[in-house]
Amino acid sequence: MAGALTYTAVDSTSLSTAEIYGQALVELGRAHPEVVALTADLAKSTKIGDFQKEFPDRFFNVGIAEQDMFGIAAGMARAGLVPFLSSFSVFTSLRAADQLHTDLCYQNVNAKVIATHSGTSFGQAGSTHHAICDFAVTRGIPNLTVICPADGYETYNAVMTAYQTPGPFYIRINRGFDRVLYKDTNYGFELGKAVTINEGTDLTIIATGSCVFQAFEAAKFLEVNDGLKVRVLDMHTIKPIDRDAILKAVMDTRRIITVEDHNIIGGLGSAVAEVVVESGKGCAFKKLGIPDQFAPIGLHEDIMSMLGIDSNGIINAVRDLMKMDFEEDDDWDDEA
């Protein structure tokens, strides 16, 4: 990708995902005078302080007023600016849901929502600050593109792609540091196209966000210890979903597990299931995520472990699903 980030792995591990977003925003600000930044008293938490310092006249902190922030951004976008709105994902998807739906998406304006502290990544704050249904909300809104990057490098690619692509975007990133999946930004990120992290024919794990790294770890473990070839897809774009990659996984591996830091209702698992069911092809299928309950309190990695969306949980789910038999033929008619 042109102008790609040249951070080393050291840089990426020394910068949180939100800090990388903050740097990407500064880059965009320097190159494009129409880029403006808005936040609702979360400039520090969402790491856009550098933009504020460099472009004070293009930075707007509206106070703790998310609905107002979305309306202001919509007005700015229609006048020709490109607003980046930064707040916690629980607020961007719920507190301001009507404004996201109507002001940004119905009007189809060129505004980009950076939803931080997503999933259970602000685990200790409790369920008021967990975003466990934002995929369900955002997937249901027309015109909106939804991305959930796996790490800081992918966040950079997502932010740059959002700028380059007209229309409203919802980019969901975590609080704090993410495990680094990619070596740099040059791995062929393409909007709406899953990245194959690991090739395999026995089963496909389709993961998003922080779960991609965990899925990759699980696949490496299963290859060494169980002799399984597990395909891992980084499904960074939740909407529009990569139908081709899902259908290929059905045909090639006949077994799919989805993993997400989100309720199992309405998120990645549901999106994948919709594609599978509409295809008319059957496959063994398991959704890993938050089992339709408010998540426990704790450190993000602990919560992921408790929910079974870390590498151990994924390994167990793979072993269970491998016990399900499928015919090797192409006769789909005799399958229940």
Partner 1 sequence: MSLSKQEWLALEKKAHELRLLCLDTTSWAGSGHIGGGMSCMDLLTVLYHKYMRIRVEEPQWPDRDRFILSKGHAGIAYAPVLCDLGFNDPEMLKTFNLSGSKMGIHLDSNKVVGVDASTGSLGHGLPIAVGTALAARVLGKDYITYCLLGDGECDEGSNWEAAMAASHFKVTNLISFVDRNECMIDGKTEDVMKLEPFTDKWEAFGFIVKDIDGQNIKEICDAIDFALANKTDKPVMIILHTKKGAGIDFMEGNYVWHYGAINEEKYNQAKASLEKYYAARVARVEKEAQ
40 or 303, CB closer to partner 1? Answer: 40
51 or 216, CB closer to partner 1? Answer: 51
Under 8 Å between Cβ of 180 and 151: yes
Nearest-approach distance from CB 70 to partner 1, in angstroms: 7
Contact flags string 54-93 toward partner 1, x per CB under 8 A: ---xx-x-xx-x-xxxxxxxxxxxxxxx-x----------
Nearest-approach distance from CB 54 to partner 1, in angstroms: 15
Helix, strand, coil tally for the chain in percent (to 5): 45, 20, 40
Nearest-approach distance from CB 69 to partner 1, in angstroms: 8
Nearest-approach distance from CB 103 to partner 1, in angstroms: 6
In this structure, the strands spanning 195-198 and 169-172 are unpaired
Rounded CA-CA distance 321/256 in Å is: 8
Footprint (CB under 8 A) of partner 1, residues 102-161: 102-103, 106-108
76 or 295, CB closer to partner 1? Answer: 76
Q: Which two tokens stand for residue 55?
A: 């472009």
Rounded CA-CA distance 302/289 in Å is: 14
Rounded CA-CA distance 276/1 in Å is: 31
Nearest-approach distance from CB 322 to partner 1, in angstroms: 49
Nearest-approach distance from CB 163 to partner 1, in angstroms: 17
Task: Residue 312: name the closest of 205, 178, 214, 179 by CA.
Answer: 214
Listed in sequence order, the DSSP H helices in 152-255 are: 152-164, 211-226, 243-253
Q: Which span (94-102, 126-134, 281-289, 299-307) binds partner 1, by CB under 8 A?
A: 94-102
Footprint (CB under 8 A) of partner 1, residues 173-232: none
Number of residues that bind partner 1 (CB under 8 A): 31
Under 8 Å between Cβ of 132 and 296: no
Q: Which two tokens stand for residue 63?
A: 């106070």
Q: Which two tokens stand for residue 249?
A: 């996984």
Residues within the interface to partner 1 (CB under 8 A) = 34, 36, 57-58, 60, 62-63, 65, 67-81, 83, 98-99, 102-103, 106-108
